[in-house]
Amino acid sequence: MQTTIPGFPRLGEHRELKFAVETYFKDHDAQKLQQTGKDLREKHWRLLQDNGLTEIPSNDFSFYDQMLDTACLLNIIPQPLRSAGLSDLDSYFALARGSQTDKVDVKARPMKKWFNTNYHYIVPLIDAETTIHCSGTKIFDEYLEAKNSGIETRPVLIGPFTFLRLSEIQSDVDQTKLLESMVESYRHILQKLAALGATWIQVDEACLVQELSQADVAFFKKIYQALLKDAPLKVLLQTYFGDIRESYQTVINLPFDGIGLDFVEGKQTLALVQSGFPKDKLLYAGVLNGKNIWRNAYQQTLTLLESMNDLNIVLSTSCSLLHLPYTVANETLAEETKRYFSFAVEKVIELTQLRSILAGNTELLEKNKALFSGNRCQPNQVMKEKLQQLTENDFQRSATYETRKKTQHALFGFPQLPTTTIGSFPQTKEVKQTRGKYRRGTIDQQTYDQYIAKQIIEWINWQEDIGLDVLVHGEFERNDMVEYFGQQLSGILFTTNGWVQSYGTRGVKPPIIWEDIERLQPMTVKWTRFAQAQTSKPVKGMLTGPVTILNWSFPREDIGLRETVYQLALAIRQEVLDLEAAGIQMIQIDEAALREKLPLRRSDWHKEYLDWAIPAFRLVHSQVKEATQIHTHMCYSEFSDIVPEIAAMDVDVISFESARSNLTLLDELRRQQFQTAVGPGVFDIHSPRIPTVDELTTTITNILDKLPADQVWINPDCGLKTRGVIETKESLEHMLQAVHRVREGSANGE
């Protein structure tokens, strides 16, 4: 039996890719960056080969994002960049981050969540001027690179169906010509790979796991009937994140040589396969969870495989291992704890071990059975009783939104278009070094506290100087919006090197929810209260919500997500009430990842997710006073289809990402008569580009064309921790100047 994976993490064992790309942004040494990429690819191919993988993917590596790679491969580059005179590499990064020089000023392309993960992809733009053809060479270069190293690989490419569904296609594009050019371009790629000696290609069509209409399936069929006709090499259709119930019969009847199916998240995958799977095709069975870090229970997997023992199976993971840390071997956790974990390298080893067990190695199977024979952790009876004692009143604020709005307006008396930021200020090298010294014990508590206090005072004073209405303390004591809270809660473990790519060069270390969760002590009160004491203006308390903590963690598999998120909600509720008792009148509870685990099928939204995710958020803030203003923030997700659920969160102010999405969500808010105050982000914080006052004035004016002024707050897209000090200050100063310009124009009746 063969073994493979759809893809491998590309950040590197020690985040080499992150540091190399960020260095390139400073020195523009393309040769050095390309060498780092080549070294990483070579290391990863060798690692997969040495650990027994029999089929190795290539072109799963990317300097930023695989959708962006595919767009550049197909010459899908917007007009402003085509004539900007930038190098191919600089054009590539300009699409991802924007570019602002004397010669070119372009905004970054929109960034969206990759299905139900915390990975973000860059949205390609196909307009009437786009001429699609295979102009790039990356997929060919990397195949040859591996081949020249003596490693035969299977090139990976996002399929045309998924690529088109995830792209922004303008209305004036000729759909017939678009389809023809896409098919012709992909045919050219297949032919060139075959000419180079490749025998297989993997086309990723994750959109097949979404709810599809008959027209969608017919469109998919039309693409592949043309593409697979006389295909010069074998084609693996790879799917993940669910099952392909609507298109299954179509897929198995098309001349694919292999079909990759997800047996972890695909609820109907086994039933579909058992209803009939062609004997002349390979079933790439995704039986190991590619999105969670727990060891596989081999006996369960063997039982699953036995139910399909008449098929030609290749063992695989449920999806690319992009969503996992590199290896458990680099962690300092106790061995008794680490033995339950399987990161990317270990998933490959597990595939090899399963193959060995199927060949008769009973020792490996018995050792695995022993791991799962006992209880990993003991349940917390007190926590269970707390959850059982929750009533309807625990999830409802006593006053309606309209009542709260009047009370808070009288209390705060803000001018039209109140201004604020989302929470964090630049995490400079000095800030990070100081936190590191404190963590390692090279500076004492007093020295550390003095440093943090100094940062807070400086930034509070600066915020007052430029005229912000609601201030933040800057979060200089915090490493990550989830990690900071998780480290102060019982039941959650953290890795030392467990980095996972979120977007581009941004890596996160997801917490591991190990057992039942409780808050041990106040987590944010100290520095929030200190910041508030420095000013007469309101300072927001900044918290991360329970749904985001859950969604950006590796969850337990021994209890359900609902129980875990309610445990988190009770812990954060204690913090909310302590902040309120300390005199904090505004509390922001960020739910940046609210939509992340929303099922990919609309029919599953409420029963499997929203029916507990929205109540969990309300559980956090339902007991505060009428005058306490509750904010939340959500970013880089699509919210138009869950506006009623967002309203049901019952907050007083919601801010969200909109700078990269051209304010399109506002049209839906207006259509559905959304009442909550909203703060659409007016500039993109993931780009180093500094918006002009004129540009921001236009953005604010466009917002007011869609929503009444008394419903609107003005703020950036997200927290500013990743930006430099100069970028941050100039951008916010321009934002305030634009707000004053709009306020004055409104006062003059303009």
H/E segment holding residue 372: none
Q: Is 686 a catalytic residue?
A: yes
Is 319 a known ligand-binding residue? no
Is 361 a known ligand-binding residue? no
E strand segments, 584-669: 586-590, 629-634, 653-656
Is 475 a known ligand-binding residue? yes
Is 459 a known ligand-binding residue? no
Is 377 a known ligand-binding residue? no
Is 291 a known ligand-binding residue? no
Among residues 120, 473, 686, 734, the one annotated as catalytic is 686
Torsions phi, psi for 11 (to 5 deg): -60, -30
Is 575 a known ligand-binding residue? no
Nearest-angstrom CA–CA distance, 573 and 628: 14
| Residue of 51, 62, 11, 12 lying closest to 345 (CA atoms) | 51
Q: How far is CA 59 from CA 8, 479, 687, in A?
A: 10, 32, 26
Using an 8 Å Cβ cutoff, are 492 and 486 in contact? yes
Is 75 a known ligand-binding residue? no
Instruction: List Cβ neighbours of 730 (8 Å cut-off, separation of 6 or more).
Output: 690
Q: Compute the Cα dihedral for 607, 611, 614, 616 and give only its sign.
A: negative
H/E segment holding residue 675: none
Is 596 a known ligand-binding residue? yes
Is 338 a known ligand-binding residue? no
What are 554's two structure tokens? Answer: 């590796």
Nearest-angstrom CA–CA distance, 407 and 336: 54
What are 174's two structure tokens? Answer: 């000729």
Is 552 a known ligand-binding residue? yes
Using an 8 Å Cβ cutoff, are 455 and 512 in contact? no
Is 15 a known ligand-binding residue? yes
Helix (H, G, I), strand (E, B) or coil at 210: coil
Angle at Cα 114 formed by Cα 109 and Cα 118, nearest 5°? Answer: 105
Is 336 a known ligand-binding residue? no
Distance of CA 165 to the CA centre of its chain: 19
Is 740 a known ligand-binding residue? no
DSSP string, 105-127: EEPPPPEEE-TTSS-EEE--EE-
Using an 8 Å Cβ cutoff, are 624 and 576 in contact? yes
Q: How far is CA 61 from CA 93, 138, 182, in A?
A: 15, 10, 22
Is 473 a known ligand-binding residue? no
Q: Which amino acid is at 418?
A: P
E strand segments, 522-628: 540-544, 586-590
Q: Compute the Cα dihedral for 407, 413, 419, 420 and give only its sign.
A: negative
Helix (H, G, I), strand (E, B) or coil at 100: strand
Is 16 a known ligand-binding residue? yes
Nearest-angstrom CA–CA distance, 622 and 577: 10
Is 498 a known ligand-binding residue? no
DSSP string, 422-450: -SB----HHHHHHHHHHHHTSS-HHHHHH
Q: Which residue numbers belong to the known binding site for L-methionine? A: 422-424, 475, 590
Q: Which residue numbers belong to the known binding site? A: 15-18, 113, 118, 422-424, 475, 552, 590, 596, 633, 635, 657, 718
Residues identified as active-site: 686
Q: Which residue numbers belong to the known binding site for 5-methyltetrahydropteroyltri-L-glutamate? A: 15-18, 113, 118, 552, 596
Q: Which residue numbers belong to the known binding site for Zn(2+)? A: 633, 635, 657, 718
Q: Which residue numbers belong to the known binding site for L-homocysteine? A: 422-424, 475, 590
